[in-house]
């Protein structure tokens, strides 16, 4: 896989922060510890293996809340607090990039709860805001406690919520608006590498959506779910609307996303799941940010550390779920990056 040279420039403002994160790299789990969790025969063995990690401090509270999700959300909150204390004011948009999927999920949950007039707090992921803060902001149209980009999306969602009767189409409209808004925010950061990361994420999202739609033979026009601002133009992606899934994947194998497409469609065909897309996407991003580890202090290096932490948490969550349901270790292993 070949990535562009982004000429990452060191920033002395982040010298202490990057030194701190360098020391924290020992937190990342060794392969042997992950393998031990994978081979756990039940929750008892998994918890025993977890005690030998940086996440042991959460074990006593896992039962009170929702299992491994408690650890994930706690770690997310720690990430936000760390970034809030150390990032330049103009760099705090990195939050939106790091928690892109979770923020969008929360915005959808809030507006859906208003449309349905029910509480959906159990679906909410409290990271940047609490459920109540975000819902009150949307309901009262008072966005002073919300980041400008999130306020714009909530405002847009509230304006169109009564114009689209099909909730899925409403979600797709909201998603398009959100990703276009975040593109502008990330572009303003001035980091070519972080902007490229976002554009790769758009490409992979488009590829995944096309594969899902074709595999399920859904009668859904591509224009509903394809996004702009990827490296592969939306216009190019639209040209595959009338083509077969096999033809589309063959064409995508000519791109940087070949490994994601090959493994993703194989799993989709054999297991009917898109989980392999997630694993391959994680590996793609790890490769993408590989050159950053040779730099000293910059926003890209900080972002890379927390992206790696998010990937690890996601993998552990998958293992936790697999072990709790008694799934064979080899099947769990196929879905995670070690």
pLDDT of residue 64: 60
Query: Do 200 and 175 have their domain in common?
Result: no
Look at residues 188, 203, 238 and tell me which one is the last residue of a structural domain. Answer: 188
Average pLDDT over residues 17-21: 97
Distance between CA atoms of residues 332 and 148, nearest Å: 40
CA angle 137, 81, 69 (to 5 degrees): 80
Average pLDDT over residues 223-239: 96
Q: Is 220 left (phi over 0), alpha (psi -120 to 50) or beta?
A: beta
Query: Do 54 and 198 have their domain in common?
Result: yes
Domain that residue 280 falls in: 1-67+191-338
Q: CB-based contacts of 149: which residues, under 8 Å, 6+ apart?
A: 93, 96, 181, 182, 184, 185
pLDDT of residue 153: 93
CA distances, 174 to each of 96, 117, 146, 211, 263 (Å): 16, 19, 17, 21, 30
pLDDT of residue 205: 96
Give me the chain's average pLDDT, please: 91
Is residue 30 very low, low, confident or very high in pLDDT (cuts 50, 70, 90)?
Answer: very high
pLDDT of residue 65: 56
Query: Do 170 and 240 have their domain in common?
Result: no
Distance between CA atoms of residues 138 and 184, nearest Å: 22
State the sign of the Cα–Cα–Cα–Cα dihedral 261, 212, 198, 28: negative
| Residue 20 DSSP code | H
Span 47-93, pLDDT tens digits: 999 999 999 999 988 876 567 999 999 999 999 999 999 999 889 88
Distance between CA atoms of residues 157 and 150, nearest Å: 11
Look at residues 188, 209, 229 and tell me which one is the last residue of a structural domain. Answer: 188
Q: Are 92 and 64 in contact (CB under 8 A)?
A: no
| Residue 58 DSSP code | G
Distance between CA atoms of residues 68 and 65, nearest Å: 9
Task: Report yes or no on 77 lying in a domain.
Answer: no
Query: Do 205 and 247 have their domain in common?
Result: yes
pLDDT at 276 over 80: no
| Residue 293 DSSP code | G
Span 286-333, pLDDT tens digits: 999 999 988 999 999 999 999 999 999 999 999 999 999 999 988 898
Span 123-177, pLDDT tens digits: 999 998 999 999 999 999 999 988 888 999 999 999 998 887 788 889 999 999 9
pLDDT of residue 90: 86
Is residue 1 very low, low, confident or very high in pLDDT (cuts 50, 70, 90)?
Answer: low
Average pLDDT over residues 266-286: 83
Is residue 4 very low, low, confident or very high in pLDDT (cuts 50, 70, 90)?
Answer: low
Query: Do 222 and 280 have their domain in common?
Result: yes
Could you identify the residue written with the tokens 């008072």?
142
CA count, 13 A, side-chain hemisphere, 108: 20
pLDDT of residue 105: 94
- Within 10 angstroms of residue 229's Cβ, the number of other Cβ atoms is 19
pLDDT at 3 over 70: no
For residue 252, which of 190, 206, 318 has the smallest C-alpha distance?
206
Q: CB-based contacts of 236: which residues, under 8 Å, 6+ apart?
A: none
Look at residues 147, 163, 188 and tell me which one is the last residue of a structural domain. Answer: 188
Q: Are 207 and 261 in contact (CB under 8 A)?
A: yes
Query: Do 184 and 201 have their domain in common?
Result: no
CA distances, 106 to each of 24, 74, 101, 154 (Å): 29, 16, 9, 10
pLDDT of residue 138: 93
pLDDT of residue 336: 84
Query: Do 140 and 214 have their domain in common?
Result: no
DSSP characters over 32-48: HHHHHHHT-SSHHHHHH
| For the chain, percent of residues with pLDDT exceeding 90 | 74
For the chain, what is the domain count? 2
Task: Report yes or no on 74 lying in a domain.
Answer: no
């Amino acid at each position: 896989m070949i990535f562009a040279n982004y000429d990452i420039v060191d920033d002395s403002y982040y010298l202490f922060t990057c030194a701190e994160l360098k020391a924290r790299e020992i937190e990342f789990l060794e392969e042997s510890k992950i393998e031990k969790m994978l081979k756990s025969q039940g929750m008892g063995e998994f918890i025993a293996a977890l005690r030998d990690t940086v996440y042991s401090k959460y074990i006593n509270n896992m039962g009170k809340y929702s299992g491994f999700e408690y650890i994930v959300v706690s770690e997310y909150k720690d990430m936000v607090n760390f970034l809030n204390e150390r990032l330049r004011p103009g760099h705090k948009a990195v939050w939106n990039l790091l928690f892109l999927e979770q923020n969008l999920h929360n915005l959808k949950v809030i507006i859906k709860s208003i449309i349905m007039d029910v509480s959906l707090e159990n679906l909410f992921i409290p990271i940047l805001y609490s459920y109540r803060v975000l819902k009150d902001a949307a309901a009262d149209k008072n966005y002073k406690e919300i980041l400008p980009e999130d306020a714009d999306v909530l405002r847009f969602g509230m304006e169109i919520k009564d114009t689209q009767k099909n909730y899925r189409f409403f979600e797709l409209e909201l998603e398009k608006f959100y990703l276009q808004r975040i593109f502008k925010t990330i572009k303003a950061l001035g980091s070519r590498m972080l902007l490229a990361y976002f554009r790769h994420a758009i490409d992979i999202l488009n590829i995944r959506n096309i594969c899902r739609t074709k595999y399920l033979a859904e009668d859904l026009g591509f224009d509903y779910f394809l996004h702009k601002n990827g490296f592969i133009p939306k216009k190019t992606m639209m040209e595959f609307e009338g083509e077969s899934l096999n033809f589309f994947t063959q064409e995508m194998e000519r791109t940087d996303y070949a490994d994601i497409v090959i493994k993703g469609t194989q799993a989709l065909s054999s297991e009917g799941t898109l989980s392999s897309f997630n694993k391959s996407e994680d590996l793609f991003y790890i490769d993408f940010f590989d050159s950053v580890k040779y730099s000293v202090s910059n926003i890209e290096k900080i972002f890379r550390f927390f992206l790696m932490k998010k990937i690890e948490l996601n993998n552990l969550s998958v293992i936790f779920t697999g072990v709790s349901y008694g799934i064979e270790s080899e099947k769990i292993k196929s879905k995670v990056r070690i």
